[in-house]
């Protein structure tokens, strides 16, 4: 039987070529905690204690091949809740937590109808339902894998969300005629030209369907959802997007052209413009 420190060291050593030392250690701690059933703090307070890690060799093999640790352990934390994630479903990001927090703070005082377009794991919709108890929340996705995982997360977290299959580019208004007070989306936004420069654990494992857009039409999802929003939103309704920071000004301009006003950009914790809100006239 290995010590806790030895388990962490083995994992960190195996993935050292893929990550900097700090990130490798963080990933190793998360994986070790999952495999042993111990809290991460136990590895810091008593590293010499013995521990049994079930499935360690397979986990090391997957992590060393570049598989994200969230897929290896099968879950990730988002705004204090544990969300199931599997391959085929985008892993929730910290900047998306900031988007949800913005919506809850600005919209949480009244009973509203909200729609999350491209829900993926369901992290946005579930967090809005949990953070805004009086709201009616709906969620859409085109991916069967995402719909299955989102439904499972909604059940586990005990939130009520109207989940339906819909394509943001074609039939959103038919599936969800509205009216809604808020539409929110974290759509695909990475240009194909940026694919090769991305970290392999994102590029090779996370779903391309949820990540990439054509170089010749990078705003295709933002534009389609904004146009659908003109039919689904009540007058004065708000449209929130997580955005690609390099396209912030283009998205701001597009929203104005599509009839939205009071366009507000917000930066994430790293100072990049990553969120935008606009109002339907």
Rounded Cα–Cα distance for residues 79 and 127 (Å): 7
18-64 per-position pLDDT tens digit: 999 999 999 999 999 999 999 999 999 999 999 999 999 999 999 99
Handedness of CA 69, 203, 85, 72 (dihedral sign): negative
Coil, strand, or helix at residue 132? coil
Q: In angstroms, how far is CA 190 from the centroid of its own chain?
A: 14
Please report which confidence band the pLDDT of residue 11 belongs to, taking 50, 70 and 90 as the band edges.
Answer: very high
Coil, strand, or helix at residue 161? strand
Rounded Cα–Cα distance for residues 237 and 229 (Å): 9
64-115 per-position pLDDT tens digit: 999 999 999 999 999 999 999 999 999 999 999 999 999 999 998 778 999 9
Dig out the tokens for 187 from the structure: 């759509």
Handedness of CA 146, 147, 150, 152 (dihedral sign): negative
């Amino acid at each position: 039987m290995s010590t806790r420190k030895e388990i962490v060291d083995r994992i960190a050593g195996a993935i050292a070529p893929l990550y900097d030392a700090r990130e490798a250690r963080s990933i190793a701690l998360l994986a070790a905690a999952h495999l042993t059933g111990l809290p991460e703090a136990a590895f810091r307070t008593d590293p010499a204690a013995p521990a049994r890690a079930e499935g360690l060799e397979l986990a090391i093999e997957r992590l060393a091949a570049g598989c994200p640790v969230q897929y290896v352990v099968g879950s990730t934390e988002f705004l204090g809740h544990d969300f199931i994630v599997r391959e085929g479903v985008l892993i929730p990001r910290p900047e998306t937590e900031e988007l949800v927090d913005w919506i809850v703070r600005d919209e949480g005082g009244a009973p509203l109808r909200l729609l999350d377009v491209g829900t993926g794991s369901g992290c946005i919709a579930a967090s809005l339902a949990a953070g805004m108890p009086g709201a009616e929340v709906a969620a859409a996705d085109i991916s069967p894998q995402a719909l299955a995982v989102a439904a499972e997360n909604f059940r586990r977290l005990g939130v009520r969300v109207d989940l339906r299959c819909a394509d943001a580019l074609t039939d959103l208004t038919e599936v969800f005629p509205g009216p809604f007070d808020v539409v929110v989306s974290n759509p695909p936004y990475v240009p194909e030209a940026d694919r090769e420069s991305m970290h392999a654990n994102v590029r090779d494992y996370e779903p391309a369907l949820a990540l990439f857009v054509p170089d010749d039409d990078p705003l295709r999802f933002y534009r389609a959802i904004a146009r659908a929003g003109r039919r689904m939103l009540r007058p004065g309704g708000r449209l929130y997007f997580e955005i690609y920071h390099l396209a912030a000004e283009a998205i701001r301009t597009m929203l104005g052209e599509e009839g939205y006003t009071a366009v507000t950009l917000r930066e994430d914790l790293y100072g990049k413009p990553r969120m935008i809100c606009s109002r339907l006239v």
